[in-house]
Chains A and B, each alone.
Chain A
Amino acid sequence: SYDLTQPPSMSVSPGQTANITCSGHKLGDKYVCWYQQKPGRSPVVVIYEDYKRPSGIPERFSGSNSGSTATLTISGTQAMDEADYHCQAWDSRTVVFGGGTKLTVL
C-alpha cells in the first residue's frame, strides 16, 4: 500500500511561515490536496492539484510538490490557522490520506 507521511505536530509563531510536509514515494508524480480541519469540524480543502486554491481560501495558503515531498505553506500564520492539516493523493485508483499534522500557533 502507498503511504503518505506527515509530521504529527508542529508549532509556529503568529506572523511566521509554517511549512507542513507530506512525503511519499514519487509523490511529485501525483497531485496532492491539503485539507484543514478544526476541532469538531469537517475537513475543508485549502489546496488542490498541488498548488491551486479554492475560492475563499486566503492567499497566505500555498502549495508545492516535487520529488517525494509536497509542502503546504502558510505565510503570515494567524491564530485562526491553528488546526489539523491532512494531505491526500491518489495511488493505483485509490485515495490515500496522510496521518495529519497538528499545527499550533503560539
Chain B
Amino acid sequence: QITLKESGPTLVKPTQTLTLTCTFSGFSLNTYGVNVGWIRQPPGKALEWLALIYWDDDKRYNPSLNGRLTITKDASKSQVVLTMTNIEPVDTATYYCSQRRIATGVKDPPFSYWGQGALVTVSS
C-alpha cells in the first residue's frame, strides 16, 4: 500500500523560508522510474505544479517560481523535502506531494498517489 504524508509548519511569516517534508511508504525512491512531485493549491484556486524529483536524482522545477524552490530526497528515510525561499502571502496554499512511476506500457504516467495535503498560511 502506497501512502504519502506532508508535514511542515502551518504558519509562516513573509520573507521566511518554507520547508516541507513528504514522508512516504510502500515504494522506494531508489527504484527505476519512480518520481515524487510537489503540487500546491491556493484556497479555491487551481492546482499548480512546483517540483519533481526522479529516482536518479534528476530534478524539475516550475520556472515561474524563479529559482525559489529546491527539492531533495533521502531515499533511506523515504522522504522528499521541498524548500521555498522568500515566502509571500500569495504562497498560502495546500501543499501536496504525489508519486508517479514510469512503467512498461505507460509513457507518461499520471500522479497516481497523493498525500492528504498540508495547509500553509503565510502571514505576519
Interface residues of A (CB under 8 A from B): 1, 31, 33, 35, 37, 42-45, 48-49, 54, 86, 88, 90, 93-100
On chain B, the residues within 8 Å of A48 by CB distance are 106, 108-110
Give complex CA distance A74, B114 in Å. Answer: 23
Contact between chains at A49 and B107 (CB < 8 Å): yes
Contact between chains at A1 and B64 (CB < 8 Å): yes
Residue B112 interfacial (CB < 8 Å):
yes
With A42-B96, A42-B116, A86-B46 as contacts: A94 and B108 at CB distance below 8 Å = no
Count, chain B residues at interface, CB 8 A: 25
B43-73 vs A, Cβ < 8 Å mask (1 yes, 0 no): 0011111001000000011111000000000
**Could you say which of A31, A43, A54, A94 contacts B47, with CB atoms under 8 Å apart?**
A43
Interface residues of B (CB under 8 A from A): 37, 39, 45-49, 52, 60-64, 96, 106-112, 114-117
Q: Given contacts A37-B47, A43-B114, A54-B110, could you give 16 more A-B pairs where the C-beta distance is less than 8 Å? A: A1-B63, A33-B108, A33-B111, A35-B110, A42-B115, A44-B114, A48-B106, A48-B110, A49-B108, A88-B110, A88-B111, A94-B61, A95-B37, A95-B49, A95-B62, A99-B46
